[in-house]
Amino acid sequence: MTASPARRPAWQRVYRELKRARKHFRSPLSSLGGALGWAKRKLEYGYVVRHRIKAARDGYKALPVSKMKDSFVLVRIIGNDLEPRHRKGQSYENALFILDNESDFPDCEKLWIVNRITDPGEEARIIGLLESRGQSFHRIPFDLDAYRQVPWNTDGLAANESRFSNADNRPGGQNASRYETHIRLRKNLYAMNNNGARNTALEIARGRAKWLMPWDGNCYLTLPAFRQIRAAIEENPHFRYVVVPMARIVDNALLLDETLTPPAQEEPQIVFRNDTTELFDEEYGYGRRPKVEMLWRLGIPGLWDRFRDDAWDIPRPPLAADAGLFQSAGWVARLDSGRSHLEIGRAGFRARLVKRDEAIVGMLDRCDARAIARTLDPARLAYYDEDMLVAARREQNAHVHQELRACAEQALLRGASAPARSVQCRGQDRPCPERRSA
């Protein structure tokens, strides 16, 4: 277990905050006063947290939750494979690895959420695996008709940054991929449903155990790591949250050695006590810090504090009322994504961001294509209302029908490579329609 920052000696906290301030204010434009002000705010927050922790410790035994036996519900959320960020089939393969190799944990129930898998065949394969192993799971379906109603997102964009404005005015360079994911945010929120599924996991687990673990589907927990988490909880049950650091694994077989303890410095998973009320913000989409938003609210420090914000990002949230009431314990593995070169080092981190944006755009565009295709009948005209044409014919507007037919035949004779032109129908105030699609 790692001691809470608020419990370190005062001199050590002052030194650490001044050191951090110097790092954050190295710019030539920074001032000593600015750095000291930043450090002062951090120390004031630390003072508040120390008193908050003391109050939580003193009042814990009076809470109804203190009478509950320590029990756990681990809910893993299986989402979409996003190529090229992931290998196709990695969600299924990692679920299979967990079912084959992960230990049973005392007083811990395991559940699954199958979360809006867009590929019907892959969803059926995952559900078939869970059913064959007698696993309890909850399915959140992907409804293509519902997805089709989801609009593009232009929130936070200037008028000249619109997708439909001059391309020269749209963000380019390093901003281009983030722009593309931003305008698809609403579609992302529906199809990926990251925080929606996490909140569903909390809802399912809350009445079943004292400690709730709404974790990502590719998370693997060793028995020693679970014991570390449980020991920390038994020692300090007044903390409402447990932060479990994550390690990226590029070879799942390494986890068969339960003595393995790799460096775990990645974005952590969180354990919630069942009397907490914080929920994940469902306005944050995959790729734009859906879990980090919760880390920010709870005051959990990490690399995410130094992430760059885009102009159109949702403003960072304020600290929650129980920010600081967490302890860190154990570790969890993020199983192999099938793209090991994206998991290792700083170069892998940068490449991972690029491939993630590419994968988001690619998957959503494929969903758009499917949704559009569902509305088209290849046996009917694509651009004209056949029923209106038939009605015109029935109303004895034979000359209109003849003119339209003549225009269409002229267009066919010109061929697809010839430039389109308007042909005025006799007796009509508008050009004849020239193109048709079978």
pLDDT for the residue numbered 233: 98
Which of residues 336, 367, 398 is at a domain's end? 367
Which of residues 367, 395, 411 is at a domain's end? 367
Give the residue from 109, 99, 114 showing the smallest Cα distance to 74: 109
pLDDT for the residue numbered 430: 46
Cβ contact 226:283 at 8 Å: no
Q: What does DSSP assign to residue 314?
A: P
Give the residue from 358, 330, 150 showing the smallest Cα distance to 244: 330
- Is 438 inside any structural domain? no
Looking at this protein, which amino acid is placed at residue 61? K
Cβ neighbors of 164 (< 8 A, separation 6 or more) are none
Which of residues 338, 367, 396 is at a domain's end? 367
Cβ neighbors of 53 (< 8 A, separation 6 or more) are 4, 6, 7, 238, 239, 324, 325
Same domain, 278 and 302: yes
Same domain, 317 and 394: no
Own/partner pairs, 173-177, CB within 8 angstroms, 24+ separation: 175/310, 177/354, 177/357, 177/358, 177/361
Block residue for tokens 């793209």: 339
The mean pLDDT of 411-427, rounded to a whole number, is 59
Cβ contact 257:229 at 8 Å: no
pLDDT for the residue numbered 106: 97
Put simply, whether the predicted model's pTM sits higher than 0.85 gets the answer no
Same domain, 172 and 239: yes
For residue 62, list its beta bridge partners: none
Give the residue from 75, 79, 74, 57 showing the smallest Cα distance to 66: 57
Same domain, 122 and 30: no
Same domain, 390 and 356: no
Same domain, 18 and 105: no
Residue 132: other Cβ atoms inside 10 A: 9
How far is the C-alpha of 206 from the C-alpha of 432, rounded, in Å?
A: 64
Tell me whether residue 22 is exposed, middle or buried, using C-beta atoms within 10 angstroms of its C-beta: 0 to 12, 13 to 18, 19 or more.
Answer: middle
How far is the C-alpha of 155 from the C-alpha of 142, rounded, in Å?
A: 25
Same domain, 72 and 37: no
Q: What does DSSP assign to residue 316?
A: P
Strand duo 266-273 + 241-248: pairing: antiparallel
What confidence tier does 10 reach under pLDDT thresholds 50, 70, 90? low
Cβ contact 107:72 at 8 Å: yes
How far is the C-alpha of 395 from the C-alpha of 385, rounded, in Å?
A: 16
Same domain, 359 and 411: no
The HSE-up count of residue 416 (CA atoms within 13 Å, CB side) is 2
pLDDT for the residue numbered 353: 74
Cβ contact 211:272 at 8 Å: yes
- Is 377 inside any structural domain? no
**How many domains would you assign to the chain?**
3
Residue 407, Cα to own-chain centre: how many angstroms?
A: 51
Same domain, 285 and 392: no
- Is 211 inside any structural domain? yes
Domain of residue 52, residue span: 5-59
Same domain, 32 and 150: no
Counting every residue, how long is the chain?
Answer: 438
How far is the C-alpha of 405 from the C-alpha of 184, rounded, in Å?
A: 41
Same domain, 203 and 255: yes
- Is 82 inside any structural domain? yes
pLDDT for the residue numbered 435: 39
pLDDT for the residue numbered 351: 72
- Is 54 inside any structural domain? yes
Cβ neighbors of 218 (< 8 A, separation 6 or more) are 90, 91, 94, 334, 335, 337
CATH number where 333 lies: 3.90.550
Per-residue pLDDT reduced to its tens digit, 324-372: 999 999 999 999 887 776 667 777 777 777 788 888 999 999 999 999 8
CA–CA–CA angle 115, 118, 123 (5° rounding): 65
pLDDT for the residue numbered 296: 95
Per-residue pLDDT reduced to its tens digit, 135-157: 999 999 999 999 999 999 887 77
- Is 331 inside any structural domain? yes
DSSP track, 387-433: HHHHHHHHTT-HHHHHHHHHHHHHHHHH-TTSPP--EEPTT-SSEEP
User: Where is 128: in which H helix or E strand?
Assistant: helix 120-132
Same domain, 260 and 397: no
Per-residue pLDDT reduced to its tens digit, 198-257: 999 999 999 899 999 999 999 999 999 999 999 999 999 999 999 999 999 989 999 999
- Is 375 inside any structural domain? no
- Is 232 inside any structural domain? yes
* Alpha-carbon radius of gyration of the chain: 28
Whole-number percent of the chain with pLDDT over 90: 53
Per-residue pLDDT reduced to its tens digit, 281-322: 999 999 889 999 999 999 999 988 888 888 778 889 999 999
How far is the C-alpha of 95 from the C-alpha of 416, rounded, in Å?
A: 50
